[in-house]
C-alpha cells in the first residue's frame, strides 16, 4: 500500500480508489508516509481528511453489508449443524470449530481485496481438503494425534485467513503486520459486541419472564448461538469500514498490558522457584506453562504490531525488549522440560508437537529480541521488528499442516 500511495500521490482519482478499496490499510500506510510528504497539497488534504474526527458510523456499500449479514447468518447455521442433522456435538465441534466463521471471513477478504482466482482456488482447496480430512479421521476420545490435529487446524485456517487479508501481494510485510493489528482490533470489537449482546439477552429474557414466558432455552439455542457465531464477522466489518472505532483503543491496551505482563511474568518466575513446582516431572504444570508462553507471545506480537505503526517510543521499545527477554527464559525452561521428558520417557505425539512449537517460538523470539536490541541502539526502527514477526507467519502455517496432516499418519492415529 505504501508503494501504491507514493506512486499515485499526485493522482487524486487513484488515491480515492485505493482508499475505498482498503480504508484501514490506506490510513495506516499514509500516516507513516505523511511526515516525508508534508507540504504536498494533495498529501496535506488527505492528512486532514483521514484525521478528521467524526461521530458518524460508515455502514459501507449495500453489497458489502448484504454480504456480511448473509455470512453472519451462514456462520450461525454452521454452528447449528449438530442440532439440524442430529450429529454428536462432541464429534462436530472439536473438529469443525474453526470452520464456523474463519472460511467466511476468508471469503470476505478475498472478495474485498479482489484476489486472483488462482489464489482463491488454492486457499479454498486447502480449506476443503482440511474439512474433509479432519472429519474423516477415526472417531476417538483417546487419540492424541486427533486432539493435536483439532488444536492445530484452526491455526492453519487463521494463516489462510491472513493470506486472504494480505491480498495479491503475499510478501508484503506491512500487510502482514496489518493482519496482526486487525486481530487485535477484532478482539476488542467482538468483545464489545458480545457484551452488548449479553445485556440485550438479559433484558429480553427478563422482559418475557415478567409476562410468563420462559424463553431461555429457545433463545440460547437459536439467537444466542447465531449471535456468537456471527459476532466476529460483524466485528470484522465494523473494523474495516470504521477503523477509527478502535484505532485508539488497541494501542492503549498494548501500552497498558505490556508492562503489566512483564511485571507479572517476573513475579511468576520467582513464585515458581519459591513454590518448588517442577515442570520437568509435573505434566499438568508443563501444559499450563506452555499456555502461558503462547499467551505472552501473542501479547508481544500484538504490541510490536501496534508500536511499529506509531512514532518511535523508547520506553515502549524497552518494555517489549525486556518482555521478550524474559519470555525467552520461560521458553528455555519449557524447552528443557520437554527435552527432559522425551529423554526419560521417549517420543509421543504430544511431546513432539510441544517440542516443535517451542523451538519455533524460541527462534521467532530470538529474531524479535535481536531486532528490538538493534532498535534501542538506533541501528533500526520498530518496523524492522515487525518484519521479524511477519516473516514467521507462514512458518506457523507450515507447522500446523505438519501436525494436522502428518502426525496422525506418522503415529498410526495414536
Map 134-195 to HEC letters. Answer: HHHCCCCCCCHHHHHHHHHHHHHHHHHHHHHHHCCCCCCHHHHHHHHHHHHHHHHHHHHHHH
Give the number of other CB atoms < 10 A from CB of residue 279.
21
| Structure confidence at residue 24 as a pLDDT band (50, 70, 90) | low
CA distance 407 to 304: 32
Place of cell 481528511: 49
Give the number of other CB atoms < 10 A from CB of residue 195.
10
| 283 pLDDT above the threshold of 80 | no
**pLDDT value at position 339?**
92
What percentage of residues in the chain have a pLDDT greater than 90? 36
Contacts of 355 (CB under 8 A, 6+ apart): 335, 338, 339, 342
More confident residue, 4 or 1: 4
Q: Which three cell numbers stand for residue 78?
A: 454452521
**pLDDT value at position 406?**
92
Give the number of other CB atoms < 10 A from CB of residue 362.
17
Q: What is the pLDDT of the chain when averaged over all its residues? A: 86
Please, what is the end-to-end C-alpha distance for the chain in angstroms?
47
Domain ranges of the chain: 2-50, 62-244, 250-410
Tens digits of residue pLDDT in 9-22: 888 888 888 887 77
CA distance 291 to 331: 11
Tens digits of residue pLDDT in 163-210: 999 988 887 777 888 888 888 889 889 999 999 999 999 999 999 998
CA distance 404 to 132: 12
**pLDDT value at position 264?**
87
CA distance 281 to 101: 39
Q: Which three cell numbers stand for residue 148?
A: 493435536
Coil, helix or strand at residue 245: helix
Instruction: Give yes or no for a contact between 245 and 189, defined as CB atoms under 8 angstroms apart.
Output: yes
**pLDDT value at position 256?**
82
The closest of 224, 220, 177, 247 to 24, measured between CA atoms, is 247
* pTM recorded for the entire structure: 0.83
DSSP 40: -
CA distance 414 to 412: 5
Tens digits of residue pLDDT in 286-340: 788 788 888 888 888 777 776 665 545 677 788 888 988 988 988 898 899 899 9
Coil, helix or strand at residue 52: coil
Q: Which residues of 216-246 are buried (b: 16+ CB within 10 A; e: fewer)?
A: eeebeeebbbbbbbbbbbbbbbbbbbbbbbb
More confident residue, 36 or 347: 347
| 267 pLDDT above the threshold of 80 | yes
Instruction: Give yes or no for a contact between 108 and 71, defined as CB atoms under 8 angstroms apart.
Output: yes
Give, in degrees to the nearest 5, the angle at Cα 291 between 289 and 293: 70
CA distance 219 to 217: 5
The closest of 399, 398, 394 to 356, measured between CA atoms, is 399
Give the largest Cα separation in the chain, rounded: 70
Q: Which three cell numbers stand for residue 293?
A: 508462553
What percentage of residues in the chain have a pLDDT greater than 70? 94
Coil, helix or strand at residue 213: coil
Amino acid at each position: 500500500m505504501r508503494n501504491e500511495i507514493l506512486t499515485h500521490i499526485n493522482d487524486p482519482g487513484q488515491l480515492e480508489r485505493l482508499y475505498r478499496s482498503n480504508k484501514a490499510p490506506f490510513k495506516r500506510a499514509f500516516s507513516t508516509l505523511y511526515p516525508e510528504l508534508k507540504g504536498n497539497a494533495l498529501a496535506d488534504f488527505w492528512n486532514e481528511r483521514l484525521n478528521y474526527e467524526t461521530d458518524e458510523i460508515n455502514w459501507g456499500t449495500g453489497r458489502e453489508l448484504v454480504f456480511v449479514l448473509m455470512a453472519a447468518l451462514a456462520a450461525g447455521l454452521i454452528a447449528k449443524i449438530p442440532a439440524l442433522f442430529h450429529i454428536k456435538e462432541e464429534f462436530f465441534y472439536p473438529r469443525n470449530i474453526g470452520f464456523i466463521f474463519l472460511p467466511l471471513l476468508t471469503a470476505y477478504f478475498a472478495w474485498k481485496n479482489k484476489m486472483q482466482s488462482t489464489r482463491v482456488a488454492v486457499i479454498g482447496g486447502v480449506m476443503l481438503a482440511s474439512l474433509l480430512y479432519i472429519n474423516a479421521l477415526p472417531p476417538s476420545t483417546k487419540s492424541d494425534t486427533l486432539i493435536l490435529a483439532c488444536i492445530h487446524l484452526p491455526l492453519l485456517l487463521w494463516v489462510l485467513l491472513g493470506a486472504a487479508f494480505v491480498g495479491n501481494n503475499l510478501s508484503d510485510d506491512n500487510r502482514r503486520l496489518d493482519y496482526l493489528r486487525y486481530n487485535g482490533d477484532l478482539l476488542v470489537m467482538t468483545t464489545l459486541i458480545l457484551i452488548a449482546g449479553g445485556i440485550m439477552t438479559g433484558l429480553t429474557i427478563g422482559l418475557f419472564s415478567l409476562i410468563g414466558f420462559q424463553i431461555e432455552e429457545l433463545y440460547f439455542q437459536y439467537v444466542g448461538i447465531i449471535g456468537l457465531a456471527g459476532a466476529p464477522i460483524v466485528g470484522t466489518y465494523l473494523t474495516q469500514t470504521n477503523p477509527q472505532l478502535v484505532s485508539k483503543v488497541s494501542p492503549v491496551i498494548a501500552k497498558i498490558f505490556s508492562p503489566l505482563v512483564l511485571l507479572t511474568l517476573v513475579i511468576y518466575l520467582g513464585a515458581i522457584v519459591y513454590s518448588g513446582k517442577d515442570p520437568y516431572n509435573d505434566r499438568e504444570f508443563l501444559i499450563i506453562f506452555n499456555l502461558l508462553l503462547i499467551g505472552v507471545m501473542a501479547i508481544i506480537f500484538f504490541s510490536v504490531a501496534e508500536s511499529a505503526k506509531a512514532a518511535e517510543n523508547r520506553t515502549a521499545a524497552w518494555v517489549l525488549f525486556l518482555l521478550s527477554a524474559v519470555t525467552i527464559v520461560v521458553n528455555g525452561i519449557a524447552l528443557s522440560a520437554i527435552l527432559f521428558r522425551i529423554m526419560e520417557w521417549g517420543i509421543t505425539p504430544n511431546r513432539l508437537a510441544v517440542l516443535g512449537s517451542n523451538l519455533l517460538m524460541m527462534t521467532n523470539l530470538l529474531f524479535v529480541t535481536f531486532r528490538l536490541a538493534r532498535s534501542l541502539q538506533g541501528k533500526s526502527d520498530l518496523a524492522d521488528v515487525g518484519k521479524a514477526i511477519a516473516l514467521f507467519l507462514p512458518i506457523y502455517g507450515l507447522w500446523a499442516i505438519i501436525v494436522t496432516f502428518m502426525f496422525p499418519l506418522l503415529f498410526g492415529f495414536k
